[in-house]
Amino acid sequence: MNLLGGQARQLRLALQQAPDHAVGRVVAMLDGLADRSMIDEVLNSVRPRLRRLQPPRPLRLPRLLFLPLEAALVPAAGWRPGSNLVPRSAITPIAALVSGALPDLAEQVEAGTVGHSLTDHAVVAALGARLWPAASMVATPQVPRGWVAAGLPESAALPILALCAAVWRQAVPLWQARTAASAGAMEALALARAALAPLVADGAAPLSAGLTLLLRAALAPGQIATLATSLSAQIHPVAERALASMLADDAAAVAAATSPDEMAQTAGLLARRLADLEHTANALVRDQRQRHAAILRRDTGQACHARFAAALVETLLVPLARVAAGPRAEDSVVAMLEGAARDLRRLEAAGRRLGQELAFDRSLRDAVAQITRLAATPAGLNRIEFARLVEILAGPDAALALQAEPG
Amino acid sequence: MQDTIKGFAASLPERQASFAERGCAMPFTAPMLSGARLRRGSSGPAEMLLPALGGRGVYVMGWNACLLHCAPSLHDRQLWDRIATQERPTPALVRAAAREVARLGYAGRPAQAAAKAALRQQEAVRDGLRDVLAARFLPLAPDAADLLAPMVAVLAQAGTGPGQLSERSPSAAIPQAIVALEAFCASIAAWSQMAQTPQERRGAAIALGAARMTLLVADASLQALWRTVAELPARLARGEVRQGDVLPLLADLASRADWLLDGWTMVGALWAAAGAAGRGGVLAELVSVLPVPPLEAESWPGPRAEWDTLLRARRMVAPGPAWSCGGLVDLAQRNEALRALAP
């Protein structure tokens, strides 16, 4: 597929305006195309949404090859020579170089990826363990075929290949550390040390790429940043920049969430990371981090409460009032109401961790009072079902209070 | 009973002396009560036993401490109220109370429907038993007519053997639990062949070992009961057994399989509900709540099992409870779904 400029613009515009479910479908279709030369440029416009939506993306050799370098990849338009980063336009020529130098392995890896996506973590780890170390051996100083045609200067080939080779040499331990860090596993820090320590000798660019890869995935990035700084003091500004950028992305994801459930997930992640960053801050960065955290907490906490208050009325109280006044509710209706209450509870729990506790308390108190009034003359639901809604929303003690009300 | 956490691993051996000391598995829905058991000694109020946070040992708590620390749901409070007042809590009493609480709707509509279906099935088992026992006992031992109604009550959970009720008759709770445990064994054995990590394979091996060892002795106990029931009419007729001894004998045999299987229904439901994708994740939780029979079971019929070896292996895995990873809302919802799956 070769997209002309006008078509690419139209597709980019359409993607930007498309609803979430449609973006996932279109991206899946584009991912299925063999020639990605223009696709990456089109997808750049929706990458922040893709990070948030995480649609299943098919596993292919080039994507697998560059997974450990994810944090160093930038859109070609934003890349500058000497930036210690890798333009996305370099993926195709470098992947071709690796496939050409390792034809048997490339064929086996391609066969192994068929039918799998990036979310098949075991497949990614197993195929990566074969591909990455081998790729590091063939990424020797040269100008890959198709490099200049991809719009890249010849002089950039050597430093970019050196960066790739250094990261691929450590890619297996890096990926293990990333997996553990994203799950918040206890062994994450030890694995991160094992992965990052050898990168120190390779210079700032590979260490920065490896560290950023771990930070972006980690539930506790502060611990990993502290570890990296202890390995190399020079990496400190890079770590702080990466942390600030990660938090900004997290906060943006909270603001952009399109449902209470998604907002709960994104806010929960942000709250966890903020707590870790404040906990691990040393005297040098404590004030700066606390100021940044306070601003993020205030803004995202307010956003969570605003969404909570609106969704409480829209998804629970209004439908409940209608159901309460009607005939005995169908099972599906009760499931819908309980599902809404659970989404709200998740959002409230995550939002509380960011602040606005009094506001959440007030909203919950009002909601429970309203449900209790409806339960006084039960029709569509019985009292136990009203009590269950209150229990899901505000806990068992509030539900007991409803049950104790005369009625 | 104190209102704070009373003891840790050191206060309770991993294997209790008796089933009464080990307590009954309680199908609570609050995430922090996952794996809870309830026991009541000869004196004093009922106590809760909870898997310890570090994955080794057991907490002993009073109900007030539980209210303070574990946020029991409305469902759990109802269940506690019904069982804690019993002089001798048993798995059968817990099953009946849990069905009643679910029937009232405290675990949601799906669990309510499942409980109603289970209660209907239980009634059908009783009807079938009445006919079978009358046909077997009355021709040989007509004096045993007064025993039939209490025998139905005793055997309602165990049935009287395969093929003795008509093929369309529903199965009693204990044979059902054995079939479910066999299915669990087959499923986890197949899964462990494809497990990705050594930790998963180790967890699967522990769970499978415990299930197989339980299956052998539970099945032996049930077979012993069914054999006894089959032989009873002739033995009564010959005067080898006194009528007054019949009910205690059957009650003892029937309770053995129930105690041995106690807790496994929830383990099987947990595994089944996880689905193929979630099984690696649920394995640690499952291993932390595996029912380990007390020393009392050593003297029962059936092959000897290497429980001490298995417990040593479990200590190496040392899983913590699922709720320690958060997601309380989802876990509560899942636990309610388990009530629908295993009413």
Rounded CA gap, A121 and B200, in Å? 15
Please answer yes or no on whether B106 and A342 come within 8 Å at the CB atom: no
Interface contact B105-A122, CB threshold 8 A:
no
Any domain includes B2: no
Query: Smallest Cα–Cα separation from B104: which of A382, A290, A371, A276?
Result: A382
- Residue A288: per-residue pLDDT: 82
Task: Give the ranges where A139-259 is alpha helix by DSSP (H).
Answer: 157-169, 171-183, 188-200, 204-217, 221-231, 236-256
- Yes or no, beta carbons of A342 and B71 under 8 Å apart: no
* A261 in B contact zone (CB under 8 Å): no
Q: Which amino acid is at B114?
A: A
Residues lower than pLDDT 50 in chain A: 1-3
Element (H, E) at B48: strand B47-51
Contacts of A176 (CB under 8 A, 6+ apart): A125, A191, A195
| A58 strand-pairing partners | A117
User: A53: part of which helix (H) or strand (E)?
Assistant: helix A47-53
Predicted pLDDT at A53: 63
pLDDT of residue B8: 42
Give DSSP secondary structure letters for B129-192: HHHHHHHHHHHH-GGGGGGHHHHHHHHTTT-S-TTSS-TTSPPPHHHHHHHHHHHHHHHHHHHH
Reported as a pLDDT band with limits 50, 70 and 90, residue B165 is very low
User: What local confidence, expressed as pLDDT, does residue B14 receive?
Assistant: 75
pLDDT at B2: 38
Residues B339 and B239: beta-carbon distance below 8 Å? no
In chain B, which residues have their Cβ closer than 8 Å to the Cβ of A385?
105
Cβ pair B74:A331 closer than 8 A = no
Is B74's CB within 8 Å of A338's CB? no
CB contact under 8 A, A391 and B74: yes
In order, the DSSP letters of B266-295 are HHHHHHHHHHHHHHHHHHHHHHHT-----G
- Residue range(s) defining the domain that contains residue B216: 9-341
Per DSSP, the three-state class of B49 is: strand
Long-range contact set of residues B314-318: C-beta below 8 Å, sequence gap at least 24:
B314/B206, B314/B287, B314/B290, B315/B56, B316/B202, B317/B55, B317/B199, B317/B202, B317/B203, B317/B206, B317/B284, B317/B287, B318/B54, B318/B55, B318/B56
For chain A, give the mean pLDDT: 89
Give chain B positions within 8 Å (CB) of A338: 108
Chain B residues in contact with A122 (beta carbon < 8 A): 196
- Name which of A122, A346, A384 is nearest B329 (Cβ-Cβ): A346
CB < 8 Å to B328, chain A: 349
Question: Does B188 fall in a domain?
Answer: yes
User: pLDDT band at B3, cuts 50/70/90?
Assistant: very low
Can you read off the two tokens belonging to residue A11? 């597709």
Please tell me the distance in Å from A400's CA to the nearest CA on chain B: 7
Count of structural domains within chain B: 1
- CA-nearest residue to A184 within chain B is B325
In a mutational test of the B interface, the residue from A120, A333, A353, A392 whose CB has the highest number of chain B CBs within 10 Å is A392
Please tell me the least confidently modeled range out of A8-22, A83-97, B29-43, B113-127. Answer: A8-22
Chain A contact set for B74 (CB, 8 A): 384, 387-388, 391, 396, 399-400, 403
Q: Say what the ipTM of the complex is.
A: 0.89
Look at chain B and count its residues: 343
A292 Cβ under 8 Å from any chain B Cβ:
no
Cα of B284 to nearest chain A Cα, Å:
14
Residue A43 confidence (pLDDT): 66
List beta partners, residue A366. Answer: none
**Per-residue b/e over A98-134, b at no fewer than 16 CB within 10 Å?**
bbebbeebbeebeebbeebbbeeeebbeebbebbbeb
Residue keyed to tokens 């509560």: B332
> Model confidence over A65-122: pLDDT tens digits?
999 999 999 999 889 998 889 999 999 999 999 999 999 999 999 999 998 888 888 8
Q: How many angstroms separate the CA of residue A142 from the nearest CA in chain B?
A: 38
Q: How far is A378 from chain B (nearest CA, A)?
A: 15
User: CB–CB of B108 and A349 under 8 A?
Assistant: no
Whether A120 has its CB under 8 Å from any CB of chain B: the answer is no
pLDDT bracket for residue B324 (50, 70, 90): low
Partner-chain contact A399 B74, CB within 8 Å: yes
Q: Establish if B33 belongs to a structural domain.
A: yes
Q: How far apart are CA A338 and CA A187, in angstroms?
A: 37
Q: Which of A331, A384, A400, A402 to mutate to test the interface with B (most CBs of B within 10 A)?
A: A384
**Lowest-confidence pick of A55-59, A314-318, B87-91, B110-114:** A55-59
Q: Within a domain: residue B1?
A: no
A319 within 8 A of A370, measured Cβ to Cβ: no
**DSSP code at position A329:** P
Cα-only R_g, chain B: 20
